[in-house]
């Protein structure tokens, strides 16, 4: 239980925000931040803990978003049920891509390339297929009832996003403390050595990818419900693949709270940039790209590493492989 205390504390602290402020601007900002944190936590499990750098997490985000939207608009299925189906759909796509690429032994940059290619292929299919609404996109009908997973104010959305983030933190913490988590770290540090010690690398990577896809898929479902509109560049566009990897890397790759801290940081930076650039697009992403280079180059453990240095402590997950060796 002690391991989960920090998570409960953080979630409880964040849960009171809507009582402090009812400003739509603030809540909207926090809702999108939590959504990116959720998508990033999915990436973090596979990339940060497992060392498999996916450049195509949009594949899971988009599939889930489309599944939620299409089930409601075309088949009249309840949105809550659509949420579950959406997560399952995203996880299945993750498992399928995982089986194909890990079975053929794709590692490192090859894995990044193939995930990128899958996301792009799905984007092209979604932009021409009739079921997704092709170029027009899919609009979910406004129906402001809790049963339809739509709300008048932003606060309920905020709590749902927060609950999803809290759940993802719990899942990742549980994995950290499990045998599976140790295997995953072993695969990240040295796959050949892990394999020689009897770790079933294929199953471990596939499991991580499926859970990772499911978490990012939840963010996709949430997007569809919150904005009620989805098209191919949103669902499968590179923006979400980049945000999903940028948040945990900036926050602290392979750390529990890395994605949440990173998402908060990049979103604040994004808003600050908008104040400077106004409506002109691009400048925020220029800064994101520079940030990625700077963090990788000079602060490989991101904000968490920075905080640890201040309080003079080492974060547990980074120490994990060494503990195994010792």
Q: Does 105 bind another protein (CB under 8 A)?
A: yes
Residue 6 has a CB neighbour count (10 Å cut-off) of: 13
176 versus 284: smaller Cβ distance to another protein: 284
The answer to whether 75 touches 89, Cβ cutoff 8 Å, is no
Stretch that binds another protein, among 11-19, 62-70, 88-96, 111-119 (CB under 8 A): 111-119
Least separation, in Å, of the C-beta of 181 and another protein?
A: 19
The answer to whether 205 touches 187, Cβ cutoff 8 Å, is yes
Binding residue for another protein, selected from 121, 131, 268, 309, defined by CB under 8 A: 121
Binding residue for another protein, selected from 3, 8, 128, 276, defined by CB under 8 A: 128
**Residues whose CB falls within 8 Å of the CB of residue 178, separated by 6 or more in sequence, listed in order:** none
154 versus 188: smaller Cβ distance to another protein: 188
Question: Which residues between 270 and 299 bind another protein (CB under 8 A)?
Answer: 277, 280-286, 288-294, 296-298
The answer to whether 315 touches 255, Cβ cutoff 8 Å, is yes
Q: Does 148 bind another protein (CB under 8 A)?
A: no
User: Can you list the pairs that 143-147 forms with residues at least 24 positions away whose Cβ atoms lie under 8 Å?
Assistant: 147/78, 147/79, 147/80
Site pattern 46..85 for another protein (x: CB under 8 A): -----x-x-x------------------------------
HSE-CB for 160 with a 13 A CA cutoff: 19
Residue 152 has a CB neighbour count (10 Å cut-off) of: 9
Q: How far is it, in rounded angstroms, from Cα 155 to Cα 20?
A: 11
Binding residue for another protein, selected from 67, 87, 214, 249, defined by CB under 8 A: 249
Residue numbers at the binding site for another protein (CB under 8 A): 51, 53, 55, 100-101, 103-106, 108-110, 112-114, 117-118, 120-121, 124-125, 128, 242, 245, 249, 277, 280-286, 288-294, 296-298, 300
């Amino acid at each position: 239980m002690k391991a989960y205390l920090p998570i409960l504390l953080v979630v409880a602290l964040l849960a009171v925000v809507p009582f402090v402020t009812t400003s739509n601007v603030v809540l909207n900002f926090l809702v999108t931040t939590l959504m990116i944190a959720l998508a990033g936590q999915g990436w973090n499990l596979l990339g940060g803990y497992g060392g498999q750098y996916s450049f195509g997490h949009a594949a899971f985000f988009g599939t889930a978003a489309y599944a939620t939207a299409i089930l409601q608009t075309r088949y009249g299925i309840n949105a809550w049920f659509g949420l579950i189906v959406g997560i399952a759909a995203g996880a299945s796509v993750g498992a399928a891509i995982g089986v194909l690429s890990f079975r053929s032994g794709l590692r490192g940059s090859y894995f990044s390339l193939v995930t990128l290619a899958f996301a792009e292929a799905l984007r092209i299919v979604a932009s021409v297929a009739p079921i997704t609404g092709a170029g027009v996109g899919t609009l979910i009908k406004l129906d402001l009832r809790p049963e339809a997973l739509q709300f008048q104010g932003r606060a309920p959305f905020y709590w749902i996003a927060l609950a999803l983030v809290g759940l993802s933190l719990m899942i990742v913490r549980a994995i950290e403390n499990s045998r599976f988590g140790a295997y995953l770290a072993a695969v990240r540090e040295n796959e050949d050595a892990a394999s020689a010690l009897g770790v079933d690398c294929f199953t471990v990577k596939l499991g991580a990818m499926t859970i990772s896809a499911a978490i990012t898929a939840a963010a996709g479902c949430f997007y569809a419900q919150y904005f009620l509109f989805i098209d191919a560049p949103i669902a499968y566009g590179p923006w979400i693949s980049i945000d999903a990897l940028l948040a945990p890397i900036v926050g602290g790759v392979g750390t529990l709270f890395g994605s949440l801290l990173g998402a908060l940081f990049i979103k604040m930076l994004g808003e600050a940039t908008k104040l400077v650039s106004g409506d002109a697009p691009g400048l925020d992403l220029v800064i994101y790209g520079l940030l990625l280079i700077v963090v990788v180059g000079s602060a490989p453990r991101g904000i968490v590493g920075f905080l640890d240095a201040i309080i003079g402590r080492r974060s547990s997950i980074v120490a994990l492989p060494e503990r195994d060796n010792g």
